[in-house]
């Protein structure tokens, strides 16, 4: 049986997943030879994957080296503005198009995620799955594609706002409110609930980055 050689797409997916999972964080240098060894592929698909990630602004140049990019304050603000608008639209469309089974799944996800409140990293992964499910429930492939790009850029954030004191439980309460608005087929309420959810997440992240730990429970 002939062994299938990893393609550029495979290498791209593996490096992207490593960035998304925090294996490589903003500022980390990516070396072709080290990545090829880590993922068990040749350097050619790794090189092509790194070039693709650079064109998507997920990697940036530091002299001759490629490093994982980071977002400055203005870029962060711009990202959250776009995210809020697109996610709000996804929630509005989900309220219109989500099936009974999709709503049930969203409710089950919120219930299951409550067991992860004390584990910010695990809750962050669950949070991504929850939002992705809302995107899919919109039943709009073009919107899903744009949201994939937005969430890809979220991987450039060095920490999760869910690590802030009290934010995990509040996030799940907000998720529950979003789901119930979707279940009620109330597009306006679903969109508003999700945009407010993103706004609170952004506020919490700003407090984390400014070092204002005294008010994190208010976010």
Last residue of one domain, picked from the residues 38, 68, 98: 68
116 and 206 assigned to the same domain = yes
121 and 57 assigned to the same domain = no
Residue 36 belongs to some domain of the structure? yes
For residues 100 and 80, give the distance between their C-alpha atoms in angstroms, rounded to a whole number.
30
Q: Going residue by residue through the chain (219 aa), what tens digit of pLDDT does each one get?
A: 344 555 556 888 899 888 887 788 888 999 999 999 999 999 999 999 999 999 988 899 988 889 998 888 898 899 999 999 999 999 999 999 999 999 999 999 999 999 999 998 899 889 999 999 999 999 999 999 999 989 888 878 766 778 788 899 999 999 999 999 999 999 999 999 999 999 999 999 888 777 654 443 333
Supply the pLDDT for residue 214: 44
37 and 85 assigned to the same domain = no
Supply the pLDDT for residue 8: 55
Residue 123 belongs to some domain of the structure? yes
Q: Residue 31 is part of which domain span?
A: 8-68
102 and 200 assigned to the same domain = yes
Residue 2 belongs to some domain of the structure? no
53 and 147 assigned to the same domain = no
64 and 83 assigned to the same domain = no
Spell out a b/e string for 32-64, using b for 16 or more CB atoms within 10 Å of the CB, else e: eeebbeebebeeebbeebbebbeeeebbbeeee
Residue 15 belongs to some domain of the structure? yes
CATH classification of the domain holding 181: 1.20.120.530
44 and 126 assigned to the same domain = no
Per residue, the 3-state secondary structure of 78-145, as one string, reads HHHHHHHHHHHHHHHHHHHHCCHHHHHHHHHHHHHHHHHCCCHHHHHHHHHHHHHHHHHHCCCHHHHH
Supply the pLDDT for residue 178: 98
Residue 55 belongs to some domain of the structure? yes
126 and 94 assigned to the same domain = yes
Phi/psi zone of residue 7: left (φ > 0), alpha (ψ -120 to 50 degrees), beta? Answer: beta
Supply the pLDDT for residue 23: 87
42 and 107 assigned to the same domain = no
160 and 187 assigned to the same domain = yes
Query: What are the structure tokens assigned to 50, written together?
Result: 């790194």
Last residue of one domain, picked from the residues 39, 68, 97: 68
Residue 211 belongs to some domain of the structure? yes
Report yes or no: 172 and 118 within 8 Å, Cβ to Cβ. Answer: no
108 and 168 assigned to the same domain = yes
Residue 3 belongs to some domain of the structure? no
Q: How many domains does the chain fold into?
A: 2
Closest CA to 57 of 72, 36, 42: 72
Last residue of one domain, picked from the residues 44, 68, 92: 68
How many other CB atoms sit within 10 Å of the CB of residue 147?
Answer: 23
Residue 57 belongs to some domain of the structure? yes
Supply the pLDDT for residue 158: 65
Query: What are the structure tokens assigned to 35, written together?
Result: 């990545």
CATH classification of the domain holding 58: 1.10.10.10
Q: Beta strands of 168-208 (E only): which ranges?
A: none
64 and 96 assigned to the same domain = no
């Amino acid at each position: 049986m002939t062994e299938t050689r990893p393609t550029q797409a495979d290498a791209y997916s593996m490096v992207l997943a490593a960035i998304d999972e925090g294996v490589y964080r903003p500022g980390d240098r990516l070396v072709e030879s080290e990545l090829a060894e880590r993922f068990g592929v040749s350097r050619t698909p790794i090189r092509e994957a790194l070039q693709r990630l650079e064109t998507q602004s997920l990697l940036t140049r530091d002299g001759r080296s490629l490093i994982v990019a980071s977002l400055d304050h203005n870029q962060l603000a711009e990202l959250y503005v776009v995210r809020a608008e697109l996610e709000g639209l996804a929630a509005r469309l989900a309220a219109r198009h989500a099936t009974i089974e999709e709503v049930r799944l969203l409710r089950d996800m919120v219930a299951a995620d409550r067991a992860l409140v004390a584990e910010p990293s695990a809750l962050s992964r669950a949070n991504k799955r929850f939002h992705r499910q809302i995107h899919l429930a919109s039943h709009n492939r073009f919107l899903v594609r744009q949201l994939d790009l937005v969430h890809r850029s979220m991987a450039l954030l060095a920490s999760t706002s869910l690590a802030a004191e009290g934010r995990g439980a509040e996030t799940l309460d907000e998720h529950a409110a979003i789901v119930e608005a979707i279940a009620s087929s109330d597009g306006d309420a679903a969109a508003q609930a999700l945009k407010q959810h993103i706004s609170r997440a952004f506020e919490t992240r700003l407090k984390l980055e400014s070092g204002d730990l005294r008010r994190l429970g208010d976010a």
